Structure 1
Amino acid sequence: MTPSPLWPTDSPPRQGLGLMRLRDPAPGDAPDPDRDPGAVVHAALDAGVTLLDTAGMYGNEELVGRALAGRREEAVLCSKFGVVWGPSGRFDDWSVHADAATVARSCEGSMRRLGVDVIDLYYLHHRSEETPVEETVGAMAELVAAGKIRAIGLSNVTVDDLRRAAAVHPVTALQEEWSLVAGAAEAFLPTLAELGTTLVAHSPLGHGRLSGEDTPADVRAALAAPAARLGVTPGQVALAWVHSRGRRLAPGVVPLPGATSTGHLRANVAAASLELTEEELAALDAVSAGGRVPTG
């Protein structure tokens, strides 16, 4: 187990902020201080949320860099490379480029857009079917040696990919989806513990499925009682469950909810401190994606 260069292995950040949807106001929109990108980022830092996560494919690295101006040293700044949008503009039109030349070129582009001389945590955004992960991580290790990135991360990979990558260079973080409706990340936990790698759990609200009408009926019912008892939203309870499940199953899990307003950010921060009862946790575990018994 190799110590992380960003945080103690047994004490990662409590919660991060996903910036995928952070955008400047559209032309003609009335000013909304609650949704000002700089205000959202500053509110996160003020609340102790220092892990800020973006990606080249999000198209907002320049905005994130501007929002972070003057407070760069307070943040653990994360970005990702490898996923490239296709010409159609459709959400399903994308490909992965993870060869060594792309690694170097992508990092230079991200640093330029972010306005920084080092990226704290740089992820391969998605596994490649063409480029062996050893080649990709070897090129990322050269970025570490050059002082352009501080640590290496992987996202949307397999357990085998993670092990092969870690044989080339320590992997500080693995980013995978984990929520009441997505439990595949739990299969990584034994390997993460062995390698000393932190799980950064993105989309803990299930891409919005846990804060609206798309919530499965049994999950909605399990969220309703603790939400009423605590006087919070079901989405906050869903996020609190990820925090609790992470503490119970692994030493280092960082939930990464997204937010585009200071109000939503503060609700997410408050959710990290919610205390669910054993009975509430058992009910949520039972209806979670990791706790469901396969029926066919």
Structure 2
Amino acid sequence: MKKRRLGQLEVSALGLGCMGMSEFYGATDEKESISTIHKALDLGIDFLDTADMYGVGGSNEILVGKALKGRRSKTIVATKFGVVRDAQGNVTGINGHPEYLRKAIDESLRRIGTDYIDLYYQHMLDPNVPIEETVGAMSELVKEGKVRFLGLSNVGTDTLIRANKIYPITALQVEYSLWSREIEQVLPTARELEVGIVAYSPLGKGFLTGRITSFEDFSEHDIRRHFSRFQGENFKKNLDLVSELKEIAREKRISPSQVALAWVLLQGEDIVPIPGTRREKNLVENSKALEVILNEEDLIRIDNIARQIVGDFEISSTTLDNL
């Protein structure tokens, strides 16, 4: 497995997003998910992404912990804090206060069954707590050995600069795919600061796989039913655009997923996509994107498709502050 560096942290060039194993994308299967995590590790994919708010009661962290029994030392575990949910799973707010952070890290360590977290992110910016205060408290966790490296998620240039003055930020996690490209405005600053980029939803929440053909493909409890890009005329228009991606894939005898992931991988050696799946078959398919070769003509063609997609939507599903 090829490796990449996020700041001073070395990880597999492709990670695995574990969120959908517990919630948000319809029915789940813990046994299947654990098998998929084991398959990822066998393939050399050692970078696992979770969060304390994935699954009610932190169930995704618990699942990851079960999968890592006996294999923790060979795995890079990233998790997040800051999005607060109640016992019923309702989001009740964002919390970046130091006292909340200290409670959150201890609970994450307990659920995962580990003594340390490799990469610890603030999940969302708390508008009521200065980033300096939050990152200062996060840096104390590094000194205590509970955390190895610090990250931020879903923030823009100004916050990244301010945070990095308090303590080196290793990675910025943000949505990045053919149709979510606002991070490109932050990339120059991130690179100047030597902050790596962790790209979540690199397959456009599944749309760029080419396997979604109608709104009815989403189950009743699938969160994607609520995103505008999957509704009405937007859905139809983007099926047409994805068909162009499929054509490129057919010509190269690969899958649309591999084309989309290869494009993200080619945006820089400091970018690590973390496509999420709970199925071994999809995981193996995604891993082969590392072998895909795209020439300049391919990239221009794909970029033209991407620009059509970006132009058709609201700026993003998550807003980066002060872009």
TM-score range, shorter chain: 0.7 to 0.9
2:255 match: 233
Alpha-carbon distance in 2 for matches of 1:128, 1:167: 18
1:197 match: 195
TM-score relative to the length of structure 1: 0.86
Shift of 1:291: 8.8
Q: 1:226 touches 1:276 (CA, 8 Å); kept in 2?
A: no
Q: Secondary structure at the match of 1:179?
A: coil
Q: Secondary structure at the match of 2:119?
A: strand
Counterpart pick for 1:282 among 278, 284, 300? 300
Q: 1:222 touches 1:280 (CA, 8 Å); kept in 2?
A: no
1:167 match: 165
Q: Secondary structure at the match of 1:116?
A: coil
TM-score relative to the length of structure 2: 0.79
Shift of 1:292: 5.7
The Cα offsets for residues 14-58 of structure 1, whole Å up to 9 and x where unpaired, read as: 11100001249xxxx9xx89x622211111111111110000000
Shift of 1:4: 3.6
Which structure 1 residue ranges, 4+ long, deviate > 4 Å from structure 2?
86-90, 289-295
Alpha-carbon distance in 2 for matches of 1:86, 1:109: 15
Shift of 1:185: 1.1
Moved more, 150-159 or 281-290: 281-290
The Cα offsets for residues 136-185 of structure 1, whole Å up to 9 and x where unpaired, read as: 10000000000000000000112111000000000000000000110011
The amino acid across from 1:156 in the alignment is N
The amino acid across from 1:48 in the alignment is G
Shift of 1:241: 1.3
Counterpart pick for 2:119 among 114, 118, 121? 121
Shift of 1:86: 5.0
Alpha-carbon distance in 2 for matches of 1:216, 1:189: 26
Alpha-carbon distance in 1 for matches of 2:293, 2:7: 29
The Cα offsets for residues 84-132 of structure 1, whole Å up to 9 and x where unpaired, read as: 1257745xx4421110001111000000000000000000001111111
Count of aligned positions: 277
1:259 match: 277
Q: 1:178 touches 1:201 (CA, 8 Å); kept in 2?
A: yes
Shift of 1:230: 2.5
Q: Secondary structure at the match of 1:129?
A: coil
Shift of 1:263: 0.7
Structure 1 segments unaligned to the other structure (5+ residues): none
Q: Secondary structure at the match of 2:127?
A: coil
Q: 1:186 touches 1:290 (CA, 8 Å); kept in 2?
A: no
Alpha-carbon distance in 2 for matches of 1:71, 1:204: 27
Q: Secondary structure at the match of 1:36?
A: helix
Alpha-carbon distance in 2 for matches of 1:293, 1:266: 32
Structure 2 segments unaligned to the other structure (5+ residues): 1-5, 214-234, 314-323
